[in-house]
Structure 1
Amino acid sequence: MTVVALLSVAPVIEGSMASEVAKAVAALDEFDVTYETNPMGTVIEAEDIEELMAAATAAHTAVDADRVSTFLKIDDKRTREYEASEKVDRVESELGRPARSER
């Protein structure tokens, strides 16, 4: 089984969130997941939903703020194993080019 998720953890504070977001990302290192952070969140891949949920919970808990906003979108593919990069590869194949602008 492969589980892919988009996780966004953000403290509700004024000013830069970078140091707190970094704590959330660093918390993922304690789990058997792979991840890649982008400007809108972090894509996480795990073998099972339990590991993914534990990692997401740790990331949420790692943020030190009075209020924390967390968004978790899960794609739990139960019929075969795959990598998140396959999704991008398929879109790029349909486009016939990289899935990003030239700017």
Structure 2
Amino acid sequence: MTVVALLSVAPVREGSMAEDVADAVAALDSFDVAYETNPMGTVIEADDVGVLFDACEAAHRAVDADRVSTVLKVDDKRRSDASADEKVAGVEAALGRPAKRRRE
């Protein structure tokens, strides 16, 4: 089983959130998860939903602010071991070309 999630953790305040987001992302390193950060959040991949939730809780708690907003979207495909990369490859196969990447 592979569990894939999109996690977004941020303090609720004005100004740059980069340091707080970095603290949340760094908290993931203590768990057996793979992750990739993008401009809208962090995609996390784990073999176990419990590990994924523990990692997300740690990321949420890592942000030291009076108010923290966390959004978690989970895809728990229980009868498949398809990775996040395989999901993207499936979309690209259907497109017949690579998906566009962000601008450099």
TM-score if structure 1 supplies the norm length? 0.95
Q: CA deviation at 1:102?
A: 8.4
CA RMSD of aligned residues (A): 1.3
Aligned to 1:7: 7
User: What is the DSSP-based 3-state SS (H/G/I as helix, E as strand, rest coil) of the residue aligned with 1:65?
Assistant: coil
CA 1:101–1:51: 2 relative to 1, 3 Å:
closer
TM-score if structure 2 supplies the norm length? 0.94
User: What is the DSSP-based 3-state SS (H/G/I as helix, E as strand, rest coil) of the residue aligned with 1:44?
Assistant: strand
Alpha-carbon distance in structure 2 between the residues aligned to 1:101 and 1:78: 29
Alpha-carbon distance in structure 1 between the residues aligned to 2:21 and 2:87: 26
Aligned to 2:27: 27
CA 1:49–1:99: 2 relative to 1, 3 Å:
same
Alpha-carbon distance in structure 1 between the residues aligned to 2:56 and 2:81: 20
4+ runs of 1 displaced by more than 3 Å? none
CA 1:10–1:94: 2 relative to 1, 3 Å:
same
- Residue-by-residue CA offset, 1:71-103 (whole Å, 9 max, x unaligned): 000000111211101111011111122211686
Aligned to 1:75: 75
How many pairs are equivalent?
103
Aligned to 1:46: 46
User: What is the DSSP-based 3-state SS (H/G/I as helix, E as strand, rest coil) of the residue aligned with 2:97?
Assistant: coil
Which structure 1 segments of 5+ residues have no match?
none
Aligned to 1:92: 92
Alpha-carbon distance in structure 1 between the residues aligned to 2:100 and 2:23: 28
Q: Report sequence identity in percent.
A: 71
